[in-house]
Structure 1
Amino acid sequence: RLDDRIGHLIDTGLSNKHRSMFMILGVNGHKQIPVLFQIYAQKCLHQPNVAWCYNDRPNFKKTTETIDQTLTDGSKTNFMNQNQIRFTHYRDADCLLGQTFSVLILQDFDYVTPNLLAMTVETVRGGGLVMFLLNKVDSIQQLSSAQLNIHKRYKTSSEMSQQALPRFSERFCKLLQNVERLLVVDEKLNVVELGLAKEVMGIKVQQETDDFKLQQLQQQQESHEDPVKASLVKTCVTFDQCKSLIEIMDLFFQKEIEVEVAKEEEKEESELQEIKKSKEEILEERKLKMLQKQNKKAYTQLVSQLQETKPIMQNTNLFPKNKQLFIKAARGRGKSALLGLAIAAALQAKATNVLLFAPKVQNIQTVFQFIEVGLKQLGYQQFSDYSFQKDGDKQLDNITGIDVFRSHRQIVRFIQPDLIQTDNQALINLADLIVIDEAAAMPLELIKSILKTETFTLLSSTVHGYEGSGRALQVKIINQLQKFNQQGKQLIQLELETPIRYHTGDCIEKWLYNLLLLDCEKFLEEQKKNFLFKQPLPDDCNLHMVSKDCLFSGEKATEQFLKLIWSIFSTSHYKNQP
């Protein structure tokens, strides 16, 4: 009989939109994946997708034979063939950034690194499962002393040299004991008592704690008479995401409103001119009649001049210029979705050419997905109003662009950063809107060359978490933006704070951030609020030798000190990689 705690952990995780973690011990642990997946799939409301990460490529034929088995309800399953599974080698794990999965499977634990953990675990949506296949150990005690493959590079042939110690493995196992939503099971799904395993049945379905923010979101969504805004804000799931999208759309449609106001003023002016003309026309007609009688040739020349029409060159591009908008957010806050909806709004605002920059095309697939969500909300239909451009012919190939042909031809294109010459402004100047995702990962010279143009620029950057931009690079980008702001360009800064992949209070996020020290900068800011910090004189400073075994022991006191030390690196470096 299956332990009740397994079903209860998955059930409450889905209800609370909190992730759950399973660590499966034993060489045959992979055989229990279909069982856990079946329990999850029966309870969730969507079709689950799986990311399976490995180092040694599994023998999929053999794995399929062993993994197809009779499940708890007596039915047979072909787990490998019936489900959407993305197999990814650990060296290609960065391709998972920016994507969202229901289930994450990590095998070959000795090849797992802190960077890999940060890249993969954060891709799991709220209510999803994180599974570790620990086929080389039978207990957590064995795992705590396990040597990771990365330690080999620090070993030398000299017997006298200091060898690498598995401090990360020890601290990893120590911090697992504080994870509320964790179960360690053997290859027969028997629960191994560890940490808070006995308290799993005490986890309750939480009542909605964000009623006020939810009410704010609903008020924002219902308060817009403009059909474009009313359609797009319905797709927002947090208040700050909705508020940011409205602010972006206000900027997009600002010039269109200005043109409408100008037309109204021009109409009023023309009406006044007509009234004025009606009084003067009588006198002019009398003069023309007198002129006609006196000089017929001069009269003919005058009439031909009056009838000449001079064409007025109107700028058909209503998209605003000289505006720069900077969005910062931690991972999992809906930044990619916001960018996608903003681009859809830009297309509705008559933006003809939209250029999208990102480190890799795989990282912006969510952006393209939400461009489509936004277009559908606005009544666009695929094939008749828009079509996708891909880097191949297969369904799972990456989207590289969108062609829109509803009212006039409009394009959205992903641009590889290294293909742009910073001294060649031709392509950049053609754009109506430039979107730079993960600006902190872009060459600074490219950012500078883009900011020099008049094009509306939308930049985003991840703060805290894996590859969160350090304070040094953020300061550099902000300084560049403020420099151009002084030259007449408008600068707006937005921040997304509410988690969107999972609900606030997700204990897997807390465990991961503590394990990999991903929020040290935030911790340092909190410490500054509580204590009066001032720079001491050199003579007042003391030098201490710190025991590494103590520093990485995972104890509460040492963890706080470790965060303060690590904050020096995370606040000064350009890109945080644990």
Structure 2
Amino acid sequence: MTMDVHARYRTEGGGELVPRFNERFILSLGKCGNCLVCDDELNILPLSRASLKTLKQNSVNKGDAGEVIVRTSKEQEELDELKQSLEDTPNVGVLVELSKTLDQARAVLTFLEACSEKTNRSTIALTAARGRGKSAAIGLCLAGAISFGFSTIMVTAPEPENLVAVFDFVLRGLKALKYQEHLDFNVTYNNASGREQTKCITSIEVHREHHRQIIRYAKPQEKDKFATAEIVAIDEAAAIPLPVVRALMSSERLTFMSSTVNGYEGTGRALSLKLIKELRDAKKLNQTHAASQAASQIAGVRTKKGEFKVHEQRWKAAADAASGASSNSTGASLLEIELITPIRYATGDPVEKWLNNLLCLDCGSSMGDKLAGGAPAPSDCELYVVDRDALFSYHALSESFLQKMMGLYTSAHYKNSPNDLQMLSDAPAHAVFVLLSPSAEQDGNSLPDILCVIQVALEGKISRKAVEAQLARGHRSAGDLIPWTVSQQFGDSNFAQLSGARIVRVAVHPHVQGMGYGSRAVELLYRYYNGEMIALHGDGDESTEEESDDNDPNDNDSDNGGIDETAKGILGEKLKPRKRLPPLLLPLTEVKAPRLDWIGTSFGLTAQLYKFWKRAGMRMLYLRQTTNELTGEHSTIMVRALPRRTGFDDAWLPAFASDSQRRIVSLLGGPFQTMDVKSAGAILADFELYHNSQVNSSGNGNEAGERAIQARSGLSSTSDTISMEELNYFLTPHDLKRLEQYGRNLCDHHLVTDLLPATARLYFTGRFGVEFRLSNLQAALLCGIGLQNKTIDQLTVELDLPTNQVLAMFNKAVRKISMAFNEIAEESEKKNMLSDKARAKIEKDAEKLKNVTHQTLDEDAEEGAQVALKALKSSGDEEYINNIQDVVQDKSDQENNEVTNSAEIKTPGKRKLSGDDKEVSASSKKKSSKKDKSAKKKKSKR
């Protein structure tokens, strides 16, 4: 049986779709006690045999129909007692009288108690499953707030239709409080919702006793309308973006929140996992601060045996500690209320139980159980492949394992809906892996503890023609998130032809989160797809053929409930879970991995998640400029290449990453200006670290490839330090002087604010050289001020540091940058002092001076003469050369005679020759005799 939703699961590179969800749904109908499956002639099919048998046993025969027996429960008795005790309480008893369950009555009392204190700044969070009366409780509370004198009450929800039940019970509450429509209050409807039959109330204006009060609806994004509100009520808060909800919550007013934590419309986890957790942590911090302050006041001054211990101060301190908020605390307290008793369903209703089991809606409650096997070392755990045919076969063990898996999804992810369950079961490109403890194989009698679950979607293998055709029309098919996004952003249709695996979810058990199990699972998954795990067996011949189970001796359902066993066709068909199925769990070494080129992920950017995926070896390729509608986070894509598996050229990864770096650096002052400076600094630090590693590894014999990558990325000049000629395009000498003055504390930081964008861009693109580095805090400050255009006050709040410390660290960063600029200027001046030819000659002469040997002046002169003669001989004029030699010889003889005569005149007496003088005279005689002989030979030639 095919469904329309299956069209979204089919991809060009995916396999054949198997409707496992439909099979499990049909088999689950046999376990629903209030379900009878009939044919078109109202003949009960064998699937409903168990329901028919239960119906016969429980019905009380009275004529032809059964009799409904209503019993009063203990909870109902407590509710009646509570209503009776509050009958005489003004403005409260009539509202509690409208409550249907004890949980709802207690919630209304809590709300009204908070409203009775006008100075209360509490935040009340109401969570429950679907059909528990959350919206009704909010409406009754708002009616009570009107009776307590609140003037301005704002109500918000994703859509006005979500508040139909809220305003309905506001009207019921006002009428119970003796308010009359058109006399005491007026109702305003919204007819612009596109539904003429559905009139949504947008405001209720109360005007009794010359006091104007109003309950008004406003969109969550219109936060300016909430400025004057005394009470803000947020219904279905999990469906509103988290930053919007956080902005609506103020410590100066009372805030009501309600949200559905599970239900067939979706399971909202952002409220409970993120926002309420933040409020709970803030409450604990306030309690700790109040307790410490109380202890200090109780202790008093140690001198004079505590004479300053005043009883009133001690009582006040103890009261502050008990209430969880100190006298100087600015945070609002948190009250959590949960509704358990159903109103739409009866208690223990079989239909609700069947729906929760089928769609795994209430599986998050089982996550409170402790791990039976403890917390083993992550390095000892192994990853297993989950066979989806066995997982969705509706066997008892498979169902228990599925509930555990979905429980991890619910506890670890911000949103989980039944659509995700159907995608997991039917999508052909999806796969599931679980991380189990090393003792999982020995525990054969029980289900192993699931430490981590990874859901993977295989993407890619899209033809180039299909990519170009769809991108030309501005359209892309469903699925293949990373290939389509990267191809569209970089204009490269070749990337879509590669195949890869996108990690959809990584869910870790809540008791062992942050202990390394997620990193271990991702590491094993990378090794599996990279071909580092050798498959010991082949694909196997896993047969999924069904056996004939008609004569199964273990079939305990022998009572046919009045159904003819000999019937043929649909009346004789028995629908049971298949018996012959492949193993539920298989080690990675027994499953052959597909040949992939990359492994990646897509997630909402936070500093913690980015650190996790960066530690897994992935690089950022894309960061969405608009935020996610639900979480308010920027979606990002990170990818890691698998070179060993394919052996292809993976130069595309650093090229795309460098391009992404340039984009993010340019957009930090625009769409990414509101991003946390810690996240922005972590991203840019990762780019800088990878760039330095690329430069250091460029001498490994692959310089041509590195230059090609840099050319493709548009950063061909970033491997060298910036030159002075390039620097002059960004900064003038006067700008460099200003930076130097601020580095020496001679001017204010406002004087160099205009220079920081260009300076920060040069630093974060690696133009200062490999050895130049700023500390993490200094880089974050440079990023926040220079690229994101944030003020010092904003960075002080984000970094939680004093202003003087922020300014001091920023001054150190500017001083380092100024010194680097001065070094670049000095090197440029040294090179420009002489011309190129003169500098080359000087450098050549300097090289010669380095090789000078110990020789006399005569030997040096003779060597120079020989060089000159060689140069003349090369010209070809031999006669001119001989004449020059004769002139030189005659001149040298004449000089020798003059030197000899002058020496005789100056020395009246002969001194005794030493051994060295004898050697010098002997060598000079030999040289002179050689010169005479050479001169005679030349004359004879003439």
TM bucket normalised to smaller: 0.5 to 0.7
Contact 2:158 2:240 in 1 (8 A): yes
1:172 and 2:25 matched: yes
Give the equivalent residue in structure 2 for 1:523.
366
Alignment of 1:265-276 (within 5 A): none
CA distance in 1, matches of 2:212, 2:282: 31
Alpha-carbon distance change, 466 to 535 in structure 1, aligned in 2, over 3 angstroms: farther
Paired residue total: 359
For 1:178, give the aligned amino acid: K
1:503 and 2:503 matched: no
1:171 CA displacement? 0.4
CA distance in 1, matches of 2:57, 2:358: 25
Give the equivalent residue in structure 2 for 1:104.
none
Give the equivalent residue in structure 2 for 1:574.
414
1:474 and 2:269 matched: no
Give the equivalent residue in structure 2 for 1:192.
45
Give the equivalent residue in structure 2 for 1:58.
none
Alignment of 1:359-398 (within 5 A): 359-392=158-191, 396-398=198-200
Alignment of 1:537-552 (within 5 A): 537-552=377-392
Give the equivalent residue in structure 1 for 2:931.
none
Contact 1:344 1:372 in 2 (8 A): yes
CA distance in 1, matches of 2:100, 2:405: 36
Q: Deviations over 1:505-536 (max 9, x none)?
A: 111111111111111211222x43xx546322
Alpha-carbon distance change, 507 to 341 in structure 1, aligned in 2, over 3 angstroms: same
Give the equivalent residue in structure 2 for 1:345.
144
CA distance in 1, matches of 2:388, 2:374: 27
Does the residue aligned with 2:382 lie in a helix, a strand or coil? coil
Does the residue aligned with 2:338 lie in a helix, a strand or coil? strand
Contact 1:337 1:367 in 2 (8 A): yes
Alpha-carbon distance change, 467 to 197 in structure 1, aligned in 2, over 3 angstroms: closer
Give the equivalent residue in structure 1 for 2:214.
411
1:241 to 94, 104, 110: 104
1:357 to 156, 167, 177: 156
Contact 2:218 2:225 in 1 (8 A): no
Does the residue aligned with 1:498 lie in a helix, a strand or coil? coil
Alignment of 1:90-239 (within 5 A): 146-156=1-11, 161-195=14-48, 196-199=50-53, 200-204=55-59, 207-208=69-70, 211-224=73-86, 225-239=88-102
For 1:362, give the aligned amino acid: E
Contact 2:140 2:170 in 1 (8 A): yes
562-571 or 334-343, larger mean C-alpha shift: 562-571
For 2:84, give the aligned amino acid: E
Does the residue aligned with 2:216 lie in a helix, a strand or coil? strand
Does the residue aligned with 2:337 lie in a helix, a strand or coil? strand
1:452 CA displacement? 3.0
CA distance in 1, matches of 2:405, 2:281: 33
CA distance in 2, matches of 1:488, 1:147: 54
1:330 and 2:129 matched: yes
Give the equivalent residue in structure 1 for 2:405.
565
Alignment of 1:291-306 (within 5 A): none
Give the equivalent residue in structure 2 for 1:437.
235
1:252 and 2:131 matched: no
For 2:7, give the aligned amino acid: K
1:495 CA displacement? 1.1
1:152 CA displacement? 2.0
1:336 CA displacement? 0.8
CA distance in 2, matches of 1:473, 1:231: 32
1:428 and 2:226 matched: yes
Alpha-carbon distance change, 533 to 360 in structure 1, aligned in 2, over 3 angstroms: farther
Alignment of 1:44-63 (within 5 A): none
1:399 and 2:399 matched: no
Give the equivalent residue in structure 2 for 1:102.
none
Contact 1:361 1:400 in 2 (8 A): yes
1:568 CA displacement? 1.8
CA distance in 2, matches of 1:155, 1:443: 30
Q: TM-score, normalization: structure 2?
A: 0.37
Does the residue aligned with 2:227 lie in a helix, a strand or coil? helix
Q: Which structure 1 segments of 5+ residues have no match? A: 1-145, 255-318, 421-425
CA distance in 1, matches of 2:236, 2:207: 29
Does the residue aligned with 1:493 lie in a helix, a strand or coil? strand
Does the residue aligned with 2:166 lie in a helix, a strand or coil? helix
CA distance in 2, matches of 1:403, 1:201: 55
Alpha-carbon distance change, 458 to 156 in structure 1, aligned in 2, over 3 angstroms: closer
Contact 1:429 1:453 in 2 (8 A): no
Q: Deviations over 1:124-154 (max 9, x none)?
A: xxxxxxxxxxxxxxxxxxxxxx111111233
Alpha-carbon distance change, 409 to 188 in structure 1, aligned in 2, over 3 angstroms: farther
Contact 2:367 2:408 in 1 (8 A): no
Q: Deviations over 1:271-295 (max 9, x none)?
A: xxxxxxxxxxxxxxxxxxxxxxxxx
Contact 2:367 2:411 in 1 (8 A): no
For 1:378, give the aligned amino acid: L
Contact 2:154 2:216 in 1 (8 A): yes
Contact 1:244 1:494 in 2 (8 A): yes
1:452 and 2:250 matched: yes
CA distance in 1, matches of 2:274, 2:72: 35
Contact 1:156 1:163 in 2 (8 A): no
1:461 CA displacement? 2.0
Q: Deviations over 1:320-365 (max 9, x none)?
A: 3412111111111111110110111011111111111111111221
Q: Which structure 2 segments of 5+ residues have no match? A: 60-66, 287-329, 419-942
CA distance in 2, matches of 1:366, 1:206: 29
531-540 or 501-510, larger mean C-alpha shift: 531-540
209-218 or 473-482, larger mean C-alpha shift: 473-482
Does the residue aligned with 1:434 lie in a helix, a strand or coil? strand
Give the equivalent residue in structure 2 for 1:80.
none
Higher relative contact order at CA 8 Å, sep ≥6: structure 1 or structure 2? 1
For 2:206, give the aligned amino acid: V
Q: Percent identity?
A: 36
Q: Deviations over 1:475-513 (max 9, x none)?
A: 321233246643352321111110011111111111111
Contact 1:403 1:410 in 2 (8 A): yes
For 1:355, give the aligned amino acid: M
Q: Deviations over 1:402-457 (max 9, x none)?
A: 1222232211112112333xxxxx42221111001122222222222222340110
Q: TM-score, normalization: structure 1?
A: 0.59
Contact 1:330 1:468 in 2 (8 A): no
Contact 2:345 2:352 in 1 (8 A): no
346-355 or 186-195, larger mean C-alpha shift: 186-195
CA distance in 1, matches of 2:100, 2:57: 29
